[in-house]
């Protein structure tokens, strides 16, 4: 064995241990502690627990169905048909992704809530005594989920359609298959990996969703809100059992959905040339598609617009009118002039930046060891990087809260809860799958002969990394890092379990502003998060 | 005589003023026609017009006197082998070959299975039904694509650069197998290629296309010996082009252009003078690159010891093509 490969084996071992300590160890601690007989009995016998678990499951499944029903047709419409505004609308339609979960939820609250914009308008138009509806319970949660998660189906299906080889469709036609037969016998099977991917992502996101059930749930509990409530009540043993139960459901869901993916048939034969979008020829259909497209876009952008509108209304100025009587920048002025309001902004920014930076470095190290050096531990490293993605954020939040509230250096446990380190650490765990996936995929596509060429031209390792490897990895790296940064910036799930007053992030500040009925300030925070997210995602998506 | 497959003044206008056609061709039943041309000559457009993937801006296509110009690809019953085969990766070999057979006689699984196995036997892949397509070699994939196109018993077989995806060693063998299968089935075939050797070897007749126009149609030796213009003369086979004094030295009268194949030139005691600049040995013979007095360069195919580099020689032509 050469010195070089021994050195990479040592590095791989160190990386594996570090990742295991971050990703698996806290889960194991919780699982071990959860085997507490009285807590187990409490969980098994209380009907509320089972109801919450079942609610989590069916809400997630229905979310998948709704998101698919909206996202897939839209993807076909925008990928295959040409009509005025197709390009602009096709980009705008993905805009729900720039709303962090909590911000999206409060935008829905301001828009469709019982004292929201729409309800208020209807109430005054029809001279009703009370609000026409209450936005609460499972319907409200599903509405928010469908709105924010159809984007996964839309983007995955579009990407799948774009990769489709037009000669496949022509071959089916030449063999006598009509449009329906081509769709069902060729297109859908070829899209299956994309569709299953979107379904898994939607299911996992819905299962881990916290903001919507927290704000709209009322008496309707899902497992994530149940866990946090139990933790806040101080019943730690029960919270641990609940955490383990949610983790098991997540893993089971993942395994079942993976089954439907079928054999790996992604091996493309020959080069794929995607079909050109077909212009819609009939003028009436064309007009209809255009109107529907624009109408839909306005509908999708209403939450963003409402958020901006509410953020411009000073405290207490808007009571019963349909449109706000006063609009100015007072809320933003308060945001940027009051030190206590500026702090959460800085907290969120630095914690997101730090966790993303570390996640990028770890992903690069993993990419180099797994793809280039092909170390023996490569499967372990890949699995550890991907694992946090398979479990809801609440599970990790509770696991970290429990593992790092004890001082036991020999067990590698330290008191980190209450310090400024714990939240960035939680964000880092959540960031690993995103940066890891981006970097590994990019590394696999990177032709090793490029690095060899650089070496043969006399470039040292550092120069090769900076001038050849990193520029080649940049698109994957930027995509993963921007997603990780935005997720950390808007995080609520980990924050609500782990924050301290000093380190409180924006989402916690939004919640407390809402509690004080300072909707304008909450909305202004939301707008800032939305804009920063949009810019970061925009930069990350550049090729 | 009217052909089995009739192409009448078919034309396609792309944007940017690029036009293919109008082209007319008659193809007899059972004939193998090669569409030969450089890239951008419109040969692939022609094939896609025949398949129905492109709609013509003018003209007419008929098979056995049935107008199919407006018939959709799915109804046209033309078999097609794609350049990159377009085998469905989610189906196995048998399902791929059976794809075009289903829906005709529903519930007739046994009949479909038998047709699939017949088609596979035809291309020498008997028993390959349950194989995955990505496990096959390039040559096997090509044969599966052929079996799939032939299984529904199409009226015309279309092949898009059928051998371009194979490595050169395999190409010649596959070419012969392909010709054998086509002849055994007796199907009318149109195929696209940019390689003269392939067109000669596989085609009964060749249509030479250039910049969207049909330059000449004919049997291989006809194109080689009697090209109608300079393009066909130089695109089909190796050719030396002589003008002016050099042309006159080789026997041309007037201002005409003279085309002479390298094997139709020989060293002699008198004729066109020049100096041997290069000798390329190819085994049985050698190509001699000769530079004439007006610095024009041409190739002579002769016995490998016929001349030496640097030697002053005289060249005469045994057969010329005057254009």
What mean pLDDT is reported for chain A?
87
Q: Worst-scoring range by mean pLDDT, A447-451, A478-482, B7-11, B74-78? A: A447-451
Above 80 in pLDDT, residue A501? yes
C-beta of residue B159 within 8 angstroms of C-beta of residue B151? no
Specify the pLDDT at position A262.
Answer: 58
Specify the pLDDT at position A46.
Answer: 85
CB-closest option in A168, A174, A267 to B80: A174
Above 70 in pLDDT, residue A266? no
- Report the pLDDT averaged over residues A331-342: 88
For residue A171, the distance in angstroms to the closest alpha carbon of chain B comes to 7
Residues 6+ apart with CB under 8 A from B221: none
Interface of B with A (CB under 8 A): 51-53, 72-80, 82-91, 99-100, 103-104, 133-134, 141, 148-149, 152, 158, 165
Specify the pLDDT at position B1.
Answer: 47
CA A226/CA A210 separation, integer angstroms: 10
pLDDT level of residue B103 (50, 70, 90 thresholds) = low
Nearest to A419, CA basis, from A346, A493, A498, A510:
A498
Instruction: Give the model confidence (pLDDT) of A399-431 as tens digits.
Output: 999 999 988 888 888 888 888 899 999 999 999
Specify the pLDDT at position B106.
Answer: 54
The continuous run of DSSP H or E covering A249 comes out as helix A236-259
For residue A369, the distance in angstroms to the closest alpha carbon of chain B comes to 29
Q: In CATH, what is the architecture of A1-35+326-543? A: Orthogonal Bundle (1.10)
Specify the pLDDT at position B243.
Answer: 85
Task: Count CB pairs under 8 A between chains A and B.
Answer: 86
Specify the pLDDT at position B105.
Answer: 52
Q: How far apart are the first and last CA of chain B?
A: 30
A541 CB-side CA count, 13 A = 12
Specify the pLDDT at position A219.
Answer: 83
**What residues of chain B lie within 8 A of the CB of A168, using their CB?**
86, 88
Tokens of B73: 């690809």
What is the number of other CB atoms lying within 10 angstroms of the CB of residue B176? Answer: 11
Instruction: Give the model confidence (pLDDT) of A41-61 as tens digits.
Output: 888 888 888 999 999 999 999
Above 50 in pLDDT, residue A270? no
Residues 6+ apart with CB under 8 A from B76: A174, B51, B52, B68
Instruction: Give the model confidence (pLDDT) of A196-247 as tens digits.
Output: 989 999 999 999 999 999 999 888 899 999 999 998 888 888 888 999 999 9
**What residues of chain B lie within 8 A of the CB of A172, using their CB?**
88, 99
Highest mean pLDDT among A79-83, B140-144, B317-321: B140-144
Tell which of B75, B80, B89, B101 to mutate to test the A interface (max A CBs under 10 Å). B89
- Report the pLDDT averaged over residues B218-232: 92
Above 80 in pLDDT, residue A458? no
Tokens of A20: 């295991």
Instruction: Give the model confidence (pLDDT) of B304-316 as tens digits.
Output: 888 888 889 999 8
- Report the pLDDT averaged over residues A476-497: 93
**What residues of chain B lie within 8 A of the CB of A269, using their CB?**
84-87, 89, 133-134, 141
Residue A2 CA, chain-centre distance (Å), reads: 42
Tell me the pairing of strands A278-279 and A81-82.
Answer: parallel
Could you tell me the sign of the dihedral formed by the alpha carbons of B50, B52, B54, B55, in that order? positive
Specify the pLDDT at position A41.
Answer: 85
Three-state DSSP at B107 gives: coil
How would you list the strands of the sheet with B258-260, edge to edge? Answer: B240-242, B258-260, B321-322
- Report the pLDDT averaged over residues A3-24: 89
The answer to whether the CB atoms of B89 and A267 lie below 8 A apart is yes
Instruction: Give the model confidence (pLDDT) of B267-303 as tens digits.
Output: 888 888 899 999 999 888 999 999 988 888 999 999 8
The answer to whether the CB atoms of B134 and A178 lie below 8 A apart is no
CA B250/CA B315 separation, integer angstroms: 8
The answer to whether the CB atoms of A168 and B86 lie below 8 A apart is yes
Above 60 in pLDDT, residue A72? yes
Above 70 in pLDDT, residue A271? no
**Residue A275: closest CA among chain B residues belongs to which residue?**
B53
Print burial letters for A347-358: b (CB count within 10 Å at least 16), e (below 16).
bbbebbebbbbb
To 10 degrees, the CA torsion angle through A328, A331, A333, A338? Answer: 160
What is the number of other CB atoms lying within 10 angstroms of the CB of residue A48? Answer: 10
C-beta of residue A407 within 8 angstroms of C-beta of residue A415? yes
Give all domains of chain B, ordered by start, each with its CATH number: 5-234 (3.40.50.300), 240-322 (2.40.50.140)
Question: What percent of chain B has pLDDT above 70?
Answer: 97
Three-state DSSP at A431 gives: helix
CA B180/CA B172 separation, integer angstroms: 13
For residue B78, the distance in angstroms to the closest alpha carbon of chain A comes to 6
The answer to whether the CB atoms of A175 and B152 lie below 8 A apart is yes
**What residues of chain B lie within 8 A of the CB of A192, using their CB?**
90
Question: What percent of chain A has pLDDT above 90?
Answer: 42
Above 80 in pLDDT, residue A108? yes
**What residues of chain A lie within 8 A of the CB of B76, using their CB?**
174
In Å, how far are B12, B14, B257 from B210, measured between CA atoms? 14, 16, 20
**What residues of chain A lie within 8 A of the CB of B84, using their CB?**
165, 167, 269-271
**Residue B104: closest CA among chain A residues belongs to which residue?**
A176
For residue B139, the distance in angstroms to the closest alpha carbon of chain A comes to 13
C-beta of residue B250 within 8 angstroms of C-beta of residue B322? no
pTM comes to: 0.81
**What residues of chain A lie within 8 A of the CB of B88, using their CB?**
168, 171-172, 186, 189-190
Specify the pLDDT at position A267.
Answer: 44
**Residue A190: closest CA among chain B residues belongs to which residue?**
B90
Residue A509 CA, chain-centre distance (Å), reads: 21
Instruction: Give the model confidence (pLDDT) of A364-409 as tens digits.
Output: 999 999 988 888 898 999 999 989 988 999 999 999 999 999 888 8
pLDDT level of residue B2 (50, 70, 90 thresholds) = low
For residue A439, the distance in angstroms to the closest alpha carbon of chain B comes to 27
Above 70 in pLDDT, residue B47? yes
């Amino acid at each position: 064995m050469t010195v070089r490969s021994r050195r990479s084996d040592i590095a791989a071992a160190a990386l594996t241990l570090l990742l295991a300590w971050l990703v698996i160890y806290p889960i194991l601690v919780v699982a071990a502690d959860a085997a507490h007989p009285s807590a187990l009995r409490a969980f098994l016998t209380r009907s509320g627990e089972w109801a919450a678990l079942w609610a989590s499951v069916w809400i997630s499944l229905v979310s998948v169905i709704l998101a698919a029903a909206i996202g897939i047709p839209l993807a076909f419409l925008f990928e295959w048909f040409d009509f005025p505004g197709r390009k602009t609308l096709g980009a705008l339609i993905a805009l729900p992704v720039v709303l962090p979960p909590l911000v999206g939820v409060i935008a829905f609250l301001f828009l469709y809530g019982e004292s929201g914009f729409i309800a208020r308008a209807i109430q005054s138009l029809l001279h009703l005594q009370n609000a026409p509806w209450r936005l609460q319970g499972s319907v409200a949660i599903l509405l928010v989920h469908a709105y924010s998660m159809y984007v996964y189906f839309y983007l995955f299906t579009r990407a799948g359609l774009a990769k489709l080889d037009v000669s496949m469709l022509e071959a089916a036609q030449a063999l006598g298959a009509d449009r329906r037969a081509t769709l069902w016998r060729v297109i859908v099977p070829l899209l299956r990996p994309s569709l299953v991917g979107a379904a898994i992502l939607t299911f996992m996101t819905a299962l881990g969703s916290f903001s919507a059930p927290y704000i709209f749930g009322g008496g309707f509990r899902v497992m994530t809100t149940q866990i946090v409530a139990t933790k806040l009540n101080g019943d730690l043993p029960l919270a641990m059992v609940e955490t383990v139960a949610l983790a098991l459901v997540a893993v089971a869901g993942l395994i079942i959905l993976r089954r439907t993916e079928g054999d790996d048939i992604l091996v493309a034969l020959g080069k794929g040339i995607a079909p050109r979008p077909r212009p819609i020829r009939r003028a009436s259909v064309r007009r209809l598609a255009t109107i529907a497209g624009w109408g839909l876009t306005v509908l999708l952008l209403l939450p963003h617009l409402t958020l901006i509108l509410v953020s411009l209304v000073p405290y207490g100025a808007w009571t019963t009118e349909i449109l706000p009587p006063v609009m100015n920048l007072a809320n933003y002025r308060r945001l940027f002039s009051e030190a206590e309001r500026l702090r959460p902004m800085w907290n969120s920014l630095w914690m997101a930046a730090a966790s993303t930076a570390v996640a990028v470095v770890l992903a690069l190290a993993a990419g180099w060891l797994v793809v280039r050096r092909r170390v023996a531990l490569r499967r372990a490293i890949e699995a550890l990087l991907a694992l946090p993605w398979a479990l809801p954020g609440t599970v990790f939040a509770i696991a970290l809260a429990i593992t790092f509230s004890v001082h036991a250096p020999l067990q590698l446990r330290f008191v980190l809860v209450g310090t400024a380190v714990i939240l960035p650490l939680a964000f880092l765990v959540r960031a690993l799958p995103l940066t890891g996936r981006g970097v590994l995929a990019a590394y696999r596509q990177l032709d090793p002969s490029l690095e060899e060429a650089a070496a043969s031209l006399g470039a040292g390792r550092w120069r090769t990394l900076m001038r050849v490897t990193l520029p080649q990895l940049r698109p994957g790296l930027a995509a993963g890092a921007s997603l990780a940064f935005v997720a950390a910036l808007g995080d609520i799930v980990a924050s609500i379990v782990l924050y301290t007053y000093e380190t409180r992030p924006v989402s916690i500040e939004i919640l407390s502003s809402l509690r004080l009925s300072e909707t304008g300030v909450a909305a202004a925070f939301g707008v800032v998060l939305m804009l920063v997210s949009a810019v970061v995602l925009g930069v990350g998506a550049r090729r | 005589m009217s052909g089995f497959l009739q192409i009448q003044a078919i034309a396609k206008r792309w944007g940017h003023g690029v036009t293919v056609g109008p082209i007319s061709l008659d193809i007899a039943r059972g004939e193998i026609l090669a569409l030969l041309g450089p890239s951008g000559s419109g040969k692939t457009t022609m094939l896609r017009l025949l398949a129905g993937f492109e709609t013509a801006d003018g003209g007419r296509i008929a098979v056995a006197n049935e107008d199919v110009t407006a018939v959709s690809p799915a109804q046209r019953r033309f078999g097609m082998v794609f350049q990159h085969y377009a085998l469905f990766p989610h189906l196995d070999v048998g399902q791929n070959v059976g794809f075009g057979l289903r829906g005709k006689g529903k519930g007739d699984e046994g009949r479909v299975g038998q047709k699939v196995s017949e088609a596979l036997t035809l291309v020498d892949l008997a028993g390959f039904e349950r194989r995955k397509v990505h496990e096959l070699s390039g040559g096997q994939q090509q044969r599966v694509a052929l079996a799939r196109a032939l299984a529904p018993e199409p009226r015309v077989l279309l092949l898009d650069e059928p051998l371009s995806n194979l490595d050169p060693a395999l190409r010649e063998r596959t070419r012969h197998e392909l010709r054998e299968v086509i002849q055994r089935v007796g199907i009318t075939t149109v195929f696209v290629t940019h390689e003269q050797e392939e067109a000669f070897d596989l085609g009964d007749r060749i249509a030479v296309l250039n910049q969207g126009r049909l330059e000449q149609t004919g049997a291989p030796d006809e194109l080689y010996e009697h090209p109608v213009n300079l393009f066909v003369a130089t695109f089909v086979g190796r050719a030396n082009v002589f003008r002016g004094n050099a042309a006159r030295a080789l026997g041309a009268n007037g201002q005409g252009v003279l085309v002479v194949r390298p094997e139709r030139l020989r060293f002699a005691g008198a004729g066109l003078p020049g100096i041997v600049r290069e000798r390329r040995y190819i085994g049985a013979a050698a190509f001699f690159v000769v530079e004439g007095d007006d610095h024009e360069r041409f190739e002579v195919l002769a016995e490998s010891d016929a001349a030496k580099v640097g030697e002053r020689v005289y060249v005469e032509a045994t057969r010329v093509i005057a254009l």
